[in-house]
Amino acid sequence: MNDARSSNENVIVAEGLTRVFTGRPQRGSRLRRTRHVAVDHLDLTVRAGESVGYIGANRAGKSTTIKMLVGILVPTDGRVTTAGLHPLRQRRALARRVGVVFGQRSQLWWDLPVRESFTILAAIHGLSAAQERERTAELVEMLEMGEYLATPVRQLSLGQRMRAEVAAALLHRPELLILDEPTIGLDVLSKQRLREFLVAQRREHGTTLLLTTHDMGDVERLCDRILVVDHGRLAFDGTLDGLARTVGARRELVVDLAVETPDLLDVAGTEHVRSESGGLRQRLAFDPQRTTAARVLAAVSERVEVLDLSIEEPDIEDVVREIYRATR
Amino acid sequence: MAEVRAQLRAYRAVLASRARSQASYRASFRMDLVGALAIGVIEFTEVWVLYTATDQIGGFTLTQVLLVFGLADVAFCLADLVAGHCDRLPVYVRAGTLDVFFLRPQPVLAQLVTSDLSLRRLARSLVGVAALTVGLVLNDIEWGVGAVGLLVLSLVCGFVIFTAQFVTAAGLQFFLINGAEMTNAFVYGGRYAATQPATVWPRALLVVFGTVFPVAFAAFLPVSTLLGVPGVSGLPTWLGWCAPVAALWAVVVAGLCWRRGLRHYRGAGG
């Protein structure tokens, strides 16, 4: 990172962060209160300028962690500092320095035009008229919101609304942007636009990113560091390459062959996953670090004619499952 | 000072947008106004019907009760205008929109209170204003600084007390999911009680609405003092002047309920 902000300053520091939810038993039931450890002694440090993907299965504790980082939830145990502030005692000061997008809940006014939501948020964050104009113009241009600025929020498509939500969270130029499932439900093009914007935003302003997602594409294109959380514990902390190495994030080459062929068990650098239709279609897993799809294809073609092929990337759920398996 | 101005600007921006959005649906807003006015009329009719059967209720004539009704109703309608939408808290909690309030640099309660401004409630207060005006004209009031002071005090304290009730109810909603029925009992029940002479209440109600939810101080006790009508037996006539104490108490209770509720929501126990 070459931005002034990205010194070694820590934006998020969590030590032994823990959150336990106690559920009420059914009325009249004699069962004890249920106890669910959502976040379990999590240690976490995020430096300024980093872009961190926070992934894990559902109920792994991702949203709970975010809520503790921004002062919505009180930790049951442990400590957390965000932007150098105590999220509970200094919640309001923190709100000026952090932007949050919850994919599932809106912070816009549903019955007002998008532009008016921005005006209100500018007042809420105490931006001057000049600051508001400049920042809104910048965000409108970068997120291509010009055509629907005058449209009431309730009439926007999901993709349009998400862009407006991201703009709303960035209006006050926060140094940390937290995105909880920002691309959920978006079509390919909308996802692509949003990712490009976030990359540019980070490049230009050095904004630190923390995002939770179920989309491997988000992680690959946006994050230079990945955290995998499992049952509230950190199961992996490293780069995408490191993740690939740990779980062997292998790709699968799927080949349709001209004739029924015995299992291709000994193609160099691959592992035979399975055969279908009596060997007409075979799946070979390979590690992109050690060989290439072209080399595997060449090796297969030497033995039998290949009619068609496809390459399948690992699914984030599979990666997470692999991590869970490797660390338990 | 600059900080205060900045905060005021934030609330003003939200409130202005609420007013504008109501103005943009004119037909619907007009119907809301008519509806709200009708509710006010019906509520007054309830009182008036009682007096067609008798000249006095609890030592109060209809003319005298007009003052009690008017003061209580105006105070309640203004409180409703400012804080009535606090009862939507459970909806905000369920939809997750309450979390958004935590992401903004204003106190959560201030954001909840300023999240709406139902102007239609102004229509309802017209009935109270009319009752109060007629009551002030028809009653034999010894006009002076004291009388005016007592009326203003009553109105202000009534407003504070009712606003505090709404906040108390909101604070309790954090614990009682779907508990609106319970809290409505004292918020709207309190309003109803406040528009009537407290002398007719059974002792238990007197304790509840005289001390815990002190709506008796919103109108009945100040009016008793103003008109020199003996209030509840055994209580001094100057009790009407104690409305500020009752208002302060209501605010303290509301503050505690809200803080406990918010702590509960954030999972800090309590």
Q: What is the pLDDT of residue A221?
A: 86
Please tell me the least confidently modeled range out of A71-80, A263-272, A301-310. Answer: A263-272
Q: What is the pLDDT of residue A116?
A: 93
For chain B, say whether A131 makes contact (Cβ under 8 Å): no
The yes-or-no verdict on residue A2 having pLDDT over 50 is: no
pLDDT tens per residue across span A87-142: 999 999 999 999 999 877 889 998 899 999 999 999 999 999 999 999 999 999 99
Edge-to-edge strands, sheet with A251-257: A270-276, A281-286, A251-257, A306-312
In angstroms, the CA B20 to CA B22 distance is: 5
Q: What is the pLDDT of residue B157?
A: 96
CB contact under 8 A, B17 and A92: no
For chain B, say whether A319 makes contact (Cβ under 8 Å): no
Give B-chain residues touching A96 at CB under 8 angstroms. 105
Around A261, how many Cα atoms within 13 Å sit in the side-chain half-sphere? 23
Q: What is the pLDDT of residue A328?
A: 67
3-class SS of residue A177: strand
Q: What is the pLDDT of residue A248?
A: 64
For chain B, say whether A120 makes contact (Cβ under 8 Å): yes
Residue A293 one-letter amino acid: A
A65 closest CA partner among A80, A50, A52: A80
CB contact under 8 A, A124 and B105: yes
A72 is written with which tokens?
């919505």
For chain B, say whether A176 makes contact (Cβ under 8 Å): no
The yes-or-no verdict on residue B153 having pLDDT over 90 is: yes
Q: What is the pLDDT of residue B253?
A: 95
Q: What is the pLDDT of residue B150?
A: 93
CB contact under 8 A, A120 and B100: no
Question: Is residue A67 within a helix (H) or strand (E), and if so which, with residue range?
Answer: helix A62-69
A183 closest CA partner among A153, A203, A209, A161: A161
Rounded to an integer, the average pLDDT of A305-317 is: 82
CB contact under 8 A, B105 and A96: yes
Of A71, A93, A124, the CB nearest to B10: A124
Residue B96 φ then ψ, to 5°: 80, 0
Rounded to an integer, the average pLDDT of A290-309 is: 88
A103 closest CA partner among A254, A220, A215: A215
Give B-chain residues touching A93 at CB under 8 angstroms. 105
pLDDT tens per residue across span A154-209: 999 998 999 999 999 999 999 999 999 888 888 888 888 899 999 999 999 999 99
The yes-or-no verdict on residue B236 having pLDDT over 90 is: no
CA distance B251 to chain A (A): 23
* Mutate: best of A20, A124, A178, partner B, most B CBs <10 A: A124
Stretch 82-121 of chain B: residues touching chain A, C-beta under 8 Å: 95-97, 99-100, 102-107
A250 closest CA partner among A272, A267, A230: A272
Please tell me the least confidently modeled range out of B54-68, B73-87, B158-172, B239-253. Answer: B54-68
Q: What is the pLDDT of residue A325?
A: 79
Edge-to-edge strands, sheet with A208-212: A98-102, A176-180, A208-212, A51-55, A225-230, A233-238
Q: What is the pLDDT of residue A31?
A: 61
In angstroms, the CA A48 to CA A176 distance is: 8
Rounded to an integer, the average pLDDT of A145-149 is: 93
CB contact under 8 A, A95 and B105: yes
The yes-or-no verdict on residue A63 having pLDDT over 70 is: yes
CB A176 within 8 A of CB A81: no
In angstroms, the CA B111 to CA B114 distance is: 5
pLDDT tens per residue across span A282-291: 998 888 777 8
Question: Is residue A272 within a helix (H) or strand (E), and if so which, with residue range?
Answer: strand A270-276
Percent of residues, chain B, with pLDDT higher than 90: 42
Q: How confident is the model at residue B237 (pLDDT cuts 50, 70, 90)?
A: confident
DSSP string covering chain B = -HHHHHHHHHHHHHHHHHHHHHHTSHHHHHHHHHHHHHHHHHHHHHHHHHHHH-SEETTEEHHHHHHHHHHHHHHHHHHHHHHGGGGGHHHHHHHTHHHHHHTSSS-HHHHHHTT---THHHHHHHHHHHHHHHHHHHS----SHHHHHHHHHHHHHHHHHHHHHHHHHHHHHTTSTT-HHHHHHHHHHHHHHHTS-GGGS-HHHHHIIIIIS-GGGTTHHHHHHHHT---STTS-GGGGGGHHHHHHHHHHHHHHHHHHHHHHHHTS--
Rounded to an integer, the average pLDDT of A37-47 is: 92
Q: What is the pLDDT of residue A169?
A: 95
CB B190 within 8 A of CB B215: yes
Q: How confident is the model at residue A264 (pLDDT cuts 50, 70, 90)?
A: confident
| Ramachandran category for residue A248: left, alpha or beta (phi over 0 → left; psi -120 to 50 → alpha) | left
Radius of gyration of chain B (CA): 19
Q: What is the pLDDT of residue A6?
A: 41
Which chain A residue has its CA at the smallest distance from B267's CA? A74
CB B200 within 8 A of CB B182: no
Residue that wins the pLDDT comparison between A200 and B205: A200
Q: How many CB atoms lie within 10 A of CB B185?
A: 11
Rounded to an integer, the average pLDDT of A315-321 is: 76
Of A104, A111, A123, the CB nearest to B13: A123
CB A65 within 8 A of CB A17: yes
The yes-or-no verdict on residue A3 having pLDDT over 80 is: no
For chain B, say whether A115 makes contact (Cβ under 8 Å): no
CB B63 within 8 A of CB B139: yes
For chain A, say whether B56 makes contact (Cβ under 8 Å): no
Q: What ipTM is given for this predicted complex?
A: 0.83
The yes-or-no verdict on residue A7 having pLDDT over 50 is: no
Helix axes A129-142, A188-205, angle to 10 degrees: 130
The yes-or-no verdict on residue B269 having pLDDT over 60 is: no
Rounded to an integer, the average pLDDT of B230-238 is: 77
A272 is written with which tokens?
């035979």
* Mutate: best of A19, A39, A72, A92, partner B, most B CBs <10 A: A72
Of B6, B12, B102, the CB nearest to A71: B102
A207 is written with which tokens?
């904004």
Residue B179 φ then ψ, to 5°: -95, 15
For chain B, say whether A105 makes contact (Cβ under 8 Å): yes
Residue that wins the pLDDT comparison between B186 and B79: B79
CB contact under 8 A, B9 and A123: yes
The yes-or-no verdict on residue B260 having pLDDT over 90 is: yes
For chain B, say whether A72 makes contact (Cβ under 8 Å): yes
Please tell me the least confidently modeled range out of A73-77, A323-327, B122-126. Answer: A323-327
Domains of chain A: 10-245 (3.40.50.300), 249-327 (3.30.70.100)
Of B6, B14, B100, the CB nearest to A107: B100
Q: What is the pLDDT of residue A27?
A: 59
